[in-house]
A and B are shown apart, each in its own frame.
Chain A
Amino acid sequence: MKKIITTIVFFTVVLCSAQTQFEKGMEKAFGLWKEGKNAEASAMFERIAAAEKNSYLPNYYVALINTTSVFMEKDKTKIDLLLTKAQDALDIELIKDQANAELYVLQALIYTGYVVADPMTNGMKYSAKVMEAYAKAKAIDPNNPRAVFGEADYQLGGAKWTGVDTKPLCVQVDTAIELFATFKPETPFSPKWGLDRALEAQKNCKK
């Protein structure tokens, strides 16, 4: 009996420590990201991705960090590198799973990065791809707030050039905000970003 208990306890400890290793790693990476150390955070997530092949999250964050860096990057030569890196990381996960709405939302975001980097060259081609990726995400999960918001936000961003009617898009932003309120991330590390940007967009809509 003692032996059995000992074994159980021993395994629990080992399992717990394994669990905490992932959690610790992820938390450390998030910490670096929050401090604005994007390259270090991306590297940390990459290391976790290399060790944990069963979770899509590390690669998801590698892609997300590098894509969002693009929107703040002034040096155009770096943009291509960041987006290439993001796409490479995302591709690893997209091959494994084609039914994850979050991955398609991120795909749309990478394409948006190309549009923002050089609208004259990439606008036409990637706009179609952005919309297609959001459509796929919504087909998989119609209630994913990031897909619903992202699709509306992308079109709102281009509205001053395209002259598209913003009213239905603003309604879509409102819907997304409601979805954010009810959205339950699967794990503590699952994607849950986007509400603040949606509120920002809502403010602009009311102007």
Chain B
Amino acid sequence: MKTKLLFTISFLFITALSFAQNTISGKVLDQKGKPVAGANIYLDGTYDGATSSETGEFSFETTETGNKFLVVSILLFETFKTEIDVANYKDQTIKLRENINALDAVVITAGTLESGEKARVSVLKPLDIVTTAGSAGNIVAALQTLPGTQTVGEDGRLFVRGGEASETQTFVDGIRVAQPYGATTNNLPTRSRFSPFLFSGIAFSTGGYSAEYGEALSSVLLLNTQDEADHEKTDIGLMTVGLSLGNTQKWSKSSLSVNMMYVNLAPYQAVIPQNVDWNSPYQSLGGETVYRYNFTNGIFKLYASFDGEKFDLNQKNINFENPVRTDMNNNNFYLNSSYKGSFGTGWQITSGISYGYSKNKLKYNITGIENQENAAQLKLKLSKKVSSHFKISFGTDYFITKYNEDITDNISIDVANGYDSDIFAAYTEGDVSFSKNLALKIGLRYSNNSLLNENNIAPRASLGYKVSKSSQFSFAYGDFSQTPVVDYIKYSKYHQFESEKASHYILNYQFTKPGQTFRAEAYYKDYSNLVQYNTRDIQYNSVFNNKGSGYAKGLDLFWRDSNLYENLEYWISYSYIDSERQYKNFPNMATPGFIANHNLSVVTKYFITDWKSQVGFTNSFSTGRPYNDPNQTQFMNGKTKSYNSLSFNWAYLLTTQKILYFSVSNILGTQNIFGYDYARTPDASGVYQRQAIVPTADRFFFLGFFWTISDNKNENQLKNL
């Protein structure tokens, strides 16, 4: 009896199963009607389904009955879900919408060179900053191998597309750094204050940037600190120029990194001949720390750095028989705290505050100059993702700067100058994605400057269009304004200055394949409202006006490839620029002294497995730069010979955690000349004598030993170098 019943039930069950077979079939297409292969089509909550073929077709059988949800899912497309009647779903066509946020959507690239893991197309990789020969861990030196920049060896700062170094602003986690460079004086190059390894992403914009950033005429450099520490470790570095020590602690939700560095060039300069007569070589003590705390929906970061620098040297000066003694002392402190998080549906908040303090004590023979700058910024930004096609963001900035300067010779001169400036700015920006291939960003920035007593409105717009899988065009336009540099506005009590202005027009083409990137960018920049004065030097009683103007136009090319040979990476940057200005005390339109018409950089890196070594070469070449020869009637008529420098570096892994690093700049010992200083008065025979501006030393050698102590035996300091 029992068996009979069981038999009946199972029989019924099986027949039920075989009776209720329904076939579901159709075709999966994209918006353009092209077949989508590999899509997963199934009835929600069941195992019944299929994968679409190369022709987008699918077909499967199911025992389900009635109304069910049919799901079609595949990466790069939005998941499709619809209720169907299982018995009646045959030969249907399903059109999938592209997922705009997918990995291969268009990204507006005009003007922007990005590095880091979040960047879709990395022009520089995180390690490049430290493994590029000639960069010596200086972020700015590595960026100078990219197109659009000028090598200005006697200055060391970033000069972008015909702009002065002051036209580039640096931001850490979206907040401005008032004093991004170390202390310097006449013709001694400076370097970036930031050690590269605390930053996980770098975006370097050579123009046409977002309305979020203001007070920069030419360029912005955006540095983002790491969101999380790798793990607990201690780093020790012994170098020919000093010592470094670092430690990272990690807890479940937070982490703390501290780094200290002491640099003293005395032993090095005792061994290697110098072109400069040092009384007391460069010394600095610096440290930085990052604390991060992760909330469920956000992250808080605190970044602080301080450094003290001093040096004392005798500089030859064409106007004086004896060298001028220059004694420099600088103290700098920077604090930046930020919170970034999400709330509600699709809202994001970024807020932060920064404070920078810099004090310089400078002595030229008996004349003492002391200046202090206090700069702060408050920032609030909100953004809302309205749909996958539209995002809006808006925010405000408040900048406070206080600067004062005292000049005294302890006899007759005692002058004090300075300024207080408050800038309020508000901006809004919309990101529209029309499709995966077409995106538009449009924004507006308003600012009010109390010192200059003026209001500014600056529109920005950019457009990206993807023409094929691997190539795209971008266009960017923007108006930019910036308060004149401190050299002028410290005389604000004698003259009412206005902001300097620039407009950028940029057309970009980008081609990318795995391991290969090609970029070409043409630009035109229009400068107006530049400050002019009528004296040889900038003084309180100069007659100033804001009637200066200028332009810069050019072409930047970039090619990066890692496919040529195994373990070889290289990139080539070429920039052509044509720029003239009438500003400062220029009598007519002329090309400024920091501009070379052609710049070419070739960077190579090669990993030699058998030697456990990475070796690299960097060659930088630029054509001659103009200088003014007062012996000639035409202004800025001179031209220096061209510049060339070949640098080499070698990192050798002794063991995983111990690295020996060696680098040398300008191996060939090329005698480079950056320009000439002419005497202020002619000599007895009526000729103005001159003196060449040359590097402080022909070559720079560096040898260091770096040791990492941590539980992770694979970790080392290669990235710190």
Contact = CB atoms under 8 A, between A and B. Distances in A.
Interface of B: 1-2, 5-6, 9-10, 13, 38, 40, 42, 44-51, 71, 73, 75-76, 103-104, 117, 122, 125-127, 200, 230-231, 514-515, 562, 569, 607, 609, 612, 653-656, 711-716, 718-719
A48 B127 CA distance: 42
11 contacts: A6-B5, A9-B5, A44-B47, A46-B42, A50-B42, A50-B45, A75-B514, A84-B75, A120-B569, A121-B122, A121-B126
A51 B231 contact: no
A50 B44 contact: yes
A179 B93 CA distance: 52
A122 B126 CA distance: 9
B707 to A, nearest CB: 14
A116 B42 CA distance: 33
A125 B231 contact: no
Interface string A5-48: 11001100100010001001100000000000001101110111
Contacts of B515: 76
A195 B412 CA distance: 87
Contact of A164 (B75, B125, B569, B714): B714
Interface residues of A, number: 46
A35 to B, nearest CB: 13
Contacts of A128: 230-231, 712, 714-715
A77 B514 contact: yes
Interface string A125-150: 10111011001000000000000000
* SS class, residues of chain B in contact with chain A: loop
Contacts of A188: none
Given A39-B38, A47-B46, A121-B117, A164 B2 contact: no
Contacts, number: 116
A31 B607 CA distance: 42
A163 interface: yes
A76 B38 CA distance: 18
A193 interface: no
Contacts of A172: none
A107 B379 CA distance: 37
Given A13-B6, A120-B562, A162-B714, 15 more contacts: A2-B1, A5-B5, A9-B5, A9-B6, A13-B13, A43-B38, A51-B45, A77-B104, A77-B514, A121-B125, A131-B231, A161-B653, A162-B656, A164-B655, A164-B713
A77 B75 CA distance: 13
Interface in A146-176: 155, 158, 160-165
A46 B40 contact: yes
Contacts of B612: 161-163
Interface string A73-101: 00111001100110000000000000000
A44 B569 CA distance: 41
B75 A85 contact: yes
Contacts of A181: none
A3 B654 CA distance: 80
Contact of B40 (A43, A51, A160): A43
Nearest to A162: B656
A-B pairs, 9 with minimum CB distance: A76-B514, A43-B40, A128-B230, A162-B656, A25-B47, A47-B42, A43-B51, A164-B656, A121-B125
A51 B13 CA distance: 22
A72 interface: no
A161 B712 CA distance: 15
A146 to B, nearest CB: 19
A48 B125 contact: no
Which among B45, B51, B607, B716 has the highest number of chain A CB atoms within 10 Å? B51
Contacts of B40: 42-43, 46-47
A77 B514 CA distance: 7
A38 to B, nearest CB: 10
A132 B714 CA distance: 11
Contacts of B45: 50-51
Contacts of A47: 40, 42, 46-49
A163 B656 contact: yes
A165 B73 CA distance: 46
A80 to B, nearest CB: 6
A36 B125 CA distance: 35
Contact of B9 (A10, A21, A81, A135): A10
A6 B655 CA distance: 73
A125 to B, nearest CB: 7
Contacts of B713: 155, 162, 164
A84 B103 contact: yes
Contacts of B42: 43, 46-47, 50
A161 to B, nearest CB: 7
Given A43-B49, A158-B714, A124 B719 contact: yes
A17 B13 contact: yes
Contact of A127 (B9, B104, B715): B715
A70 to B, nearest CB: 13
A164 B231 CA distance: 19
A146 B9 CA distance: 45
A36 B71 CA distance: 25
B72 to A, nearest CB: 11
Contact of B126 (A9, A124, A131): A124
Contacts of B75: 81, 84-85
A24 to B, nearest CB: 8
Nearest to A76: B514
A17 B609 CA distance: 57
Given A21-B47, A124-B127, A160 B712 contact: no
B545 to A, nearest CB: 50
Nearest to A124: B719
Contacts of A135: 711
Contacts of A13: 6, 9-10, 13
A43 B713 CA distance: 38
Contacts of B73: 46
Contacts of A76: 514-515
A51 B103 contact: no
Contacts of B122: 121
B718 A124 contact: yes
Interface in A171-193: none
A13 to B, nearest CB: 6
Contacts of B104: 77
Nearest to A25: B47
Contacts of B9: 9-10, 13
A51 B46 contact: yes
Given A21-B47, A47-B46, A127 B231 contact: no
Contacts of A44: 47, 49
Contacts of B1: 2
A144 B370 CA distance: 66
Contacts of B71: 50
A125 B117 contact: yes
A82 B47 CA distance: 22
B126 A125 contact: yes
A131 B40 CA distance: 34
Nearest to B710: A128
A48 B5 contact: no
A132 B656 contact: no
A177 to B, nearest CB: 22
A10 B9 CA distance: 7
A40 to B, nearest CB: 5
A161 B6 CA distance: 67
